[in-house]
Structure 1
């Protein structure tokens, strides 16, 4: 007997969720191509990171005030989110793209789902599926093509290590996201509040490290070169803060709430493709055929690893609780990314 078609309102909601998830992936993917001209114009990567996080924290301050109860209920989660998912990922990623192409840096960062499986298997000592292991092998093999190991690591080694550091910070975020996912007493933290406070914590941490008072502020008032085309520095900064951070994080949360975390995470994998395409068009960073093939392998491996990762049993639904848990939010808010 054929299954009944889902109600039209559910189909529309899912279509809207997919569109929002694609918008989030595009917004995240545009951070690197917009940030690199500022870095090449004279801004330190750490200062660009601080501008991005501090600007986004200022914009989302009303959301932080609305969810101020999280400071009492989940202080450790907020601190970890700010340290790893915001400050660590962004600092490592922007430092990496100052030395290696944007697409390569982001593809290396997409090793995170495979690294999470290593944490699950060897630290938590939980079994992983054969499909997940295949995903890890594909991701590592694809990474070998991206960095062209046969040419003796032609890319800057420090840049590669920084990109790998961004991937490791993503692992820390995924691990943190798992904490509290089984809270079935209505205290599960709202991901919007976690994002807002993560940006605030990240901004405070980066202020201590980046020392923005020593920044070349004049760079923002001049034009930056984007593959030979002059673009106002303030326009690039506005894109990074408003689109590639605030809009990207919030649309990511909305997409997870309308879709399942797994579906939203799979769509978010397109971020690497979008970033690579934008860097190709806007920055003239062309990748060779083996690198493109390797990037596809990395994304395929990440997708398989993500979908095959063991998940804890779902808690009983609680009336009024957030629809999306942290694990789902983490999948759509990488880099993020970026």
Structure 2
């Protein structure tokens, strides 16, 4: 695939991932209001996605032997870690503050790429991060509930670090990443990494969420979305298939086609998308600062994605059918913590 084509495809997939992750909160909030505990919704999301991806996990079972550390790391950090830290954080500090700290992840990714991987970082990517984080501060209206809690802020920072893990580990299948032995065996298939990451995440979250105490009856009823009754199973299907399976698949592949720093900034759009969808589908109106902040995030993401790509050097993953032009590393993820905020996490 030509470098510019790969980059365009990567940007499209990154936007699709942000849209999918961003919609999780809109679908999850009615379920929570219908009587489900937020942590149980998270467990349903990850466990359901893991079941859907079971055939993929079986097809790529060789990864358990070849890349056990990668699979365990992806499950612990990119799937379960972001959620655990995020929920612990919002139990102590406002959701908007936790969101803003978590979405410092793109800046942390730049630090990882520059100082750990010792690779150059473009000015466009750095400027994009600054603008995106500033815009996010307006989107979440961080000043509305600003309070200082050292432990809460540290927990939110833990979620940001796990979000970094999502981007860095997603990039491990890109050419030039990983050990020499792994490179000789071929890069791990992204879908296999996602499938096993979800399985590991589901196992960890089962211990944390204790789903045996869930209000299972709520899933057989309906939930209210802006005055309209919607079957609970339909919302759960949305969360599992779109906001998790589709979101992770498009997100991981986009990281391999773009780079961790660029994909990380584009992921900031998740919070904007979540806010807009909540406005349209849940009737949660946007303020002027939120609208301005959303525009600033868009500008930051546009500037960051214009950063010079890494020279192309090979396929994204053996048999993936996609080739990468560059690569390198929400929560949200917003890995899956988007049940309250609508983002990765959410991941």
TM range (shorter): 0.7 to 0.9
Cα distance, 1:140 vs. partner? Answer: 3.3
1:169 aligned partner: 162
What is the aligned counterpart of 1:115 among 97, 105, 108?
Answer: 108
Query: In the TM superposition, what is the alpha-carbon distance from 1:294 to its structure 2 partner?
Result: 1.9
1:143 to 113, 136, 145: 136
Residue 163 to residue 297, structure 1, CA distance change in 2 (3 Å): farther
- Aligned runs of 1:192-211 on 2, under 5 Å? 192-211=191-210
Indicate which of 40, 43, 46 corresponds to 2:39. 46
- Contact kept, 8 Å, 2:268 with 2:297, in 1: the verdict is no
Residues 1:62 and 2:55 are matched in the alignment: yes
Q: Alignment partner for residue 73 of structure 1, among 56, 66, 73?
A: 66
> Are the equivalent residues in 2 in contact too, given 1:82–1:200 (CA < 8 A)?
yes
- How far apart are 1:48 and its partner, in Å? 0.7
| Aligned-residue CA RMSD (Å) | 4.3
TM-score by length of 1: 0.75
Between the aligned partners of 1:84 and 1:277, the Cα distance in structure 2 is: 28
Q: Distance in 1 between matches of 2:112 and 2:10?
A: 30
CA contact (8 A) 1:256 1:324 kept: no
Q: Secondary structure at the match of 1:286?
A: coil
Give runs of aligned pairs for residues 1-338 of structure 1, distance below 5 A: 23-91=16-84, 109-121=102-114, 127-148=120-141, 151=144, 153=146, 165-179=158-172, 181=174, 182=176, 184-252=183-251, 260-261=257-258, 265=263, 270-305=269-304, 308=307, 315=313, 320=318, 322=320, 323=322, 334-336=333-335, 337=344, 338=346
Kindly tell me the number of residue pairs found equivalent between the two proteins.
325
Indicate the larger mover: 120-129 or 170-179: 120-129
Deviates more, 1:71-80 or 1:226-235: 226-235
Query: What SS is found at the alignment partner of 2:184?
Result: coil
- Structure (1 or 2) with the larger CA radius of gyration: 1
More moved, 68-77 vs 176-185? 176-185
Residues 1:178 and 1:239: Cα distance change in structure 2 (over 3 Å) = closer
Residue 204 of structure 1: CA displacement? 0.5
Secondary structure at the counterpart of residue 42 of structure 2: helix
Judge conservation of contact 2:103–2:133 (CA < 8 Å) in 1.
no
Q: Give the TM-score normalised by the residue count of structure 2.
A: 0.74
